[in-house]
């Protein structure tokens, strides 16, 4: 009897050890990009995340070309952290205008925040609990805005300008309606991430053009928003499926191309580009 118990213990130990050695392949997409898009409209392609605008300010988020009154949905479940109107002493909106910030938490990313700005109206208040896909307000043109759109940000860890992340790397990749996406890394031969690289060549349904942009660096040297945790720094989302040639361009770097296939309803990591 003791011999049988000892034998059973050995078998159990071997099974546990084999499970430890064999690890199922984990899809990176499941960890990074499972947030619901706040609107169904596409991301405006001419002022991407990390790019510098005419005022010299680095873009902290992405802009969705949403007509005024478009329902804006929570990208994930959480608690409303801010819901307010930014109005100056003269009663005029400035900066984000009417805006909402939601605090989220999950075991993979910890605490992070999503921000929805330039709204025409807000449907939730500070402290409210919201679920992903819930309507929290409506797009507008309040604040420092050149026309109706939704400005959307993600901040990881703390609610700070220095903790922003590229929303294109976080947005859901399953609700494609026949479109697909690819994501990867631009880096040097020593492994350093390359900032400010524009990647183009795919097409998107609304704009007919698809691009992405790697992270930027703030004037104080802080890295502005790549997702180093997952070794990616760009994501071309909701692109038309097919064989495309991506072009990688940045002043001071040799322009390179990469042939990739974008598959319908699938998001996949493609080869890193190395300089």
Q: 74-122: per-residue pLDDT in tens?
A: 999 999 999 999 776 566 666 899 999 999 998 878 899 999 999 999 9
Task: Output the CA torsion sign for 164, 166, 170, 175.
Answer: positive
* Angular region, 95: left φ>0, alpha ψ -120 to 50, beta rest: left
**Smallest Cα–Cα separation from 111: which of 62, 65, 64, 78?**
78
Question: What CATH superfamily is the domain 180-274?
Answer: Carboxypeptidase-like, regulatory domain (2.60.40.1120)
Q: Output b/e per residue, 93-126; b: 16+ Cβ within 10 A.
A: beebbbbbbbebeeeebeebbbbbbbbbebbbee
Element (DSSP H or E) covering residue 63: strand 62-64
User: Which residues, 6 or more positions from 68, have their beta carbon under 8 angstroms from its beta carbon?
Assistant: 120, 138, 139, 140, 141, 148
Residue 246 to residue 259: CA distance in whole angstroms: 6
Residue 258 to residue 31: CA distance in whole angstroms: 25
pLDDT exceeds cutoff 60 at 222:
no
Indicate the fold that domain 31-169 takes in CATH. Answer: Glucose Permease (Domain IIA) (2.70.70)
Cite the beta strand spans of 107-196 per DSSP E. 110-122, 129-130, 135-139, 150-156, 164-165, 180-184, 186-187
Q: What Cα–Cα distance (Å) separates residue 72 from each residue in 89, 119, 153?
A: 28, 9, 13
- Among 53-62, 221-230, 241-250, 253-262, which stretch is predicted with the lowest mean pLDDT? 221-230
Mean pLDDT of the chain: 80
Residue 77 to residue 187: CA distance in whole angstroms: 34
Domain ranges of the chain: 31-169, 180-274
**Smallest Cα–Cα separation from 162: which of 228, 115, 221?**
221
Q: Which of 59, 104, 118, 149 is catalytic?
A: 149
Q: 155-164: per-residue pLDDT in tens?
A: 988 998 778 8
Residue 151 bears catalytic tag: no
**Smallest Cα–Cα separation from 104: which of 159, 151, 152?**
159
Q: 123-132: per-residue pLDDT in tens?
A: 999 999 999 8
- β-pair partners for 187: 193, 274
């Amino acid at each position: 009897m003791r011999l049988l118990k000892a034998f059973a213990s050995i078998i159990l130990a071997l099974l546990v050890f084999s499970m430890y050695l064999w690890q199922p392949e984990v899809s990176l997409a499941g960890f990074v990009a499972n947030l619901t898009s706040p609107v169904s409209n596409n991301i405006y392609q001419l002022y991407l995340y990390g790019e510098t605008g005419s005022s010299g300010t680095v873009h902290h988020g992405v802009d969705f070309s949403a007509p005024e009154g478009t329902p804006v949905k929570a990208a994930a479940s959480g608690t409303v952290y801010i819901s307010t109107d930014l109005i100056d002493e003269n009663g005029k909106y400035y900066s984000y205008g009417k805006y909402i910030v939601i605090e989220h938490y999950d075991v993979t990313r910890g605490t992070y925040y999503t921000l929805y700005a330039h709204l025409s109206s807000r449907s939730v208040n500070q402290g409210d609990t919201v679920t992903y896909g819930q309507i929290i307000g409506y797009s507008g043109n309040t604040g420092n805005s050149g026309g109706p759109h939704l400005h959307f940000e993600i901040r990881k860890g703390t609610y700070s300008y220095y903790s922003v992340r590229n929303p294109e790397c976080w947005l859901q990749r399953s609700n494609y309606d026949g479109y697909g996406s690819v994501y990867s890394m631009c880096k040097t031969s020593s492994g350093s991430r390359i900032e400010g690289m524009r990647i183009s060549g795919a097409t998107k349904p609304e704009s007919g053009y698809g691009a992405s942009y790697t992270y930027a660096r703030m004037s104080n040297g802080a890295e502005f928003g790549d997702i180093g945790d997952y070794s990616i720094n760009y994501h071309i989302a909701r692109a038309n499926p097919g064989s495309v040639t991506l072009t990688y361009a940045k002043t001071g770097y040799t322009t390179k191309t990469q042939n990739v296939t974008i598959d319908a309803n699938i998001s996949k990591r493609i080869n890193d580009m190395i300089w």
